[in-house]
Structure 1
Amino acid sequence: MNDLTGKVALVTGGSRGIGAAVAIRLAEAGAAVALTYVQAEEQARGVAKQIEAARGRAVLVQADLTRPEAAASAVEQTVRELGGIDILVNNAGFLTYGPLAEVTAEELDRVLAVDVRSVFLATQAAARHMGEGGRIISIGSCFNGRVPGENFVLQATAKSALVGLTKGLARELGPRGITATIVDPGPIDTDMNPADGDSAEFQRGLTALGRYGEAADIAEAVAYLAGPGGRYITGTAIAVDGGYTV
């Protein structure tokens, strides 16, 4: 159900964590993969080597997605080097938290630039090149459906914006056979949110399964949505959160 042979994917923020797992999984399914990074070139090259060791094809794209033109430029480089784009995975983002009173205008602008503006601009650019069967998949957050405590106003604001964007995309791009979906992770063991971190016990307690997930869990969901199995799924979010939002 997940055969992506002949497809081209772009994964933003693909040098580590969820993005790296997604890039590797899509390549395993047969896609040629471009992945963006900002400064972690060594990590990005490590992901590319894993893909190439399995006889896949990988392209590295250095892109600071806080720059307005960067997302569109990353799409254009993908198309130029890999011959097109069929799958866009909007993964780039960062976890931020703190009380409302301490959020600065600069922090607000940065989070919205990465988590919302870059998604919009990359999607706008990618949609110009996509045809029937195109996939736009954004990595959201369990905060889209539930905010269980204080200090997550900014994170919830940014990730919730993806819901409206995705529903609008589904309506506008559906007639062209392009789907738009979100994968909402719960607590996932990455360097941004390690399973042995300060808040890990609290986060585990919010899940029905009582544990953290792995980046591979998110990658499997993305691969499914990117493949033939996802052809009739659009305008919606899939929670991969261990029952966080139950």
Structure 2
Amino acid sequence: MLLEGKNAIVYGAAGQVGSALVTAFAGHGAKVHLVGRTRSALDAVADRVVADGGHAETAVVDALDEAAVDEHADAVAAGSGSIDISVNVIDVADVQGTPLAEMSLQDFEQPIRIATRSTFLTTRAAARHMIRQRSGVILTFGGDGGGEPIRDYWIGGFQVALVAVDFLRRQLAAELGGYGIRVLGLHTGGIVEGLPDNLPERETITEMIVGKTMLKRAATFADVGNAAVFAASDLAASMTATSLNITCGAVTD
């Protein structure tokens, strides 16, 4: 039980990555606070956690709403005694498949605005309590950590959003480290497990992701959950301002 007694907030908890994180955190003893915008979807994940003997609470919160995010974090800290882990994996609703030269400004800006705003708001809300505690772990998610452009597919503003969040992670680590707060990223290089079977580009995207790996497979949702548990646990107590490379060898570092 690597996370026994810890309180974790997962924003976007009903999504594929979010539910994997919730399951992993709860499986290692954390009380998980599931946050999202759809009550029924959150409750379905929480019910599975509870059925397996875990602890979970749900809250409908828009991660782009400053007041709502702050209010929820304050309630978690007051009701549970601490915020020990915070991770934001909400859907950035990006538009892909259109060349940048033909993309509208709105479509380009959308993932950048959502990713940076939600990461900033959720991190700030948790950090205020973690500073008081002088401990805590903040996790970011996404990207491959390589900083290379995508050459074989039009990805819009998505990669720009991930790079922006990645630098925000580094800056947060620098500013929060003195309070005992660690900030780490989880980089997968893409998870093909979650691609819809009827997606026309599924085969192309799968080959693009898997073809770059050394292990000849992509990371799974279970891989993400396992890496997140390690990152949030005391086993990684000396790690901050870095990313965990779970790209299956697509990125060498």
TM-score by length of 2: 0.87
Structure 1: how far apart are the matches of 2:68 and 2:172?
21
Change (3 A) 1:207 1:74: farther
Aligned residues: 244
What does residue range 62-141 of structure 1 map to in structure 2 within 5 Å? 62-94=60-92, 96-97=95-96, 98-130=98-130, 131-141=133-143
> Which of 127, 142, 157 is matched with 2:144 structurally?
142
**What per-residue deviation string (whole Å, max 9, x for no partner) do you get for residues 197-230 of structure 1?**
2422332212222222210101111100100111
**What per-residue deviation string (whole Å, max 9, x for no partner) do you get for residues 100-128 of structure 1?**
12333323443123211111111111111
User: Is the 1:146–1:245 contact (alpha carbons within 8 Å) kept by the matching residues of 2?
Assistant: no
User: Is the 2:112–2:158 contact (alpha carbons within 8 Å) kept by the matching residues of 1?
Assistant: no
Secondary structure in 2 matching 1:206: coil
Asked if 1:18 is matched to 2:40, the reply is no
User: Is the 1:188–1:195 contact (alpha carbons within 8 Å) kept by the matching residues of 2?
Assistant: no
**What per-residue deviation string (whole Å, max 9, x for no partner) do you get for residues 129-162 of structure 1?**
1123300011121165333324224111100012
Corresponding residue number in structure 2 for 1:9: 8
Corresponding residue number in structure 2 for 1:45: 43
Change (3 A) 1:195 1:148: farther
Corresponding residue number in structure 1 for 2:55: 57
> Which of 205, 216, 228 is matched with 1:210 structurally?
216
Deviation of the 1:74 alpha carbon: 3.6
Structure 1: how far apart are the matches of 2:117 and 2:193?
24
User: Is the 1:18–1:190 contact (alpha carbons within 8 Å) kept by the matching residues of 2?
Assistant: no
Secondary structure in 2 matching 1:160: helix
Secondary structure in 2 matching 1:201: helix
User: Is the 1:132–1:178 contact (alpha carbons within 8 Å) kept by the matching residues of 2?
Assistant: yes
Deviation of the 1:192 alpha carbon: 4.8
Structure 2: how far apart are the matches of 1:235 and 1:202?
28
Deviation of the 1:238 alpha carbon: 1.4
**What per-residue deviation string (whole Å, max 9, x for no partner) do you get for residues 20-67 of structure 1?**
01111101111100111223x333222101211122211112122233
Provide structure 2 residue ranges, at least 5 long, that are not aligned to the other structure.
Answer: none
User: Is the 2:63–2:122 contact (alpha carbons within 8 Å) kept by the matching residues of 1?
Assistant: no
Q: Please identify, of 169-178 and 68-77, the stretch whose mean Cα deviation from structure 2 is larger.
A: 68-77
Q: Please identify, of 10-19 and 108-117, the stretch whose mean Cα deviation from structure 2 is larger.
A: 108-117
Deviation of the 1:174 alpha carbon: 0.8
Provide structure 1 residue ranges, at least 5 long, that are not aligned to the other structure.
Answer: none
TM-score by length of 1: 0.89
Secondary structure in 2 matching 1:129: helix
Secondary structure in 2 matching 1:137: strand
Structure 2: how far apart are the matches of 1:174 and 1:65?
24
Structure 2: how far apart are the matches of 1:88 and 1:81?
16
Structure 1: how far apart are the matches of 2:156 and 2:172?
25
One-letter amino acid matched to 2:165: L
User: Is the 1:11–1:89 contact (alpha carbons within 8 Å) kept by the matching residues of 2?
Assistant: yes
Deviation of the 1:188 alpha carbon: 1.2
Deviation of the 1:78 alpha carbon: 2.7
- Alignment RMSD: 2.3
Change (3 A) 1:65 1:99: farther
Deviation of the 1:195 alpha carbon: 11
Deviation of the 1:169 alpha carbon: 1.2
One-letter amino acid matched to 2:8: A
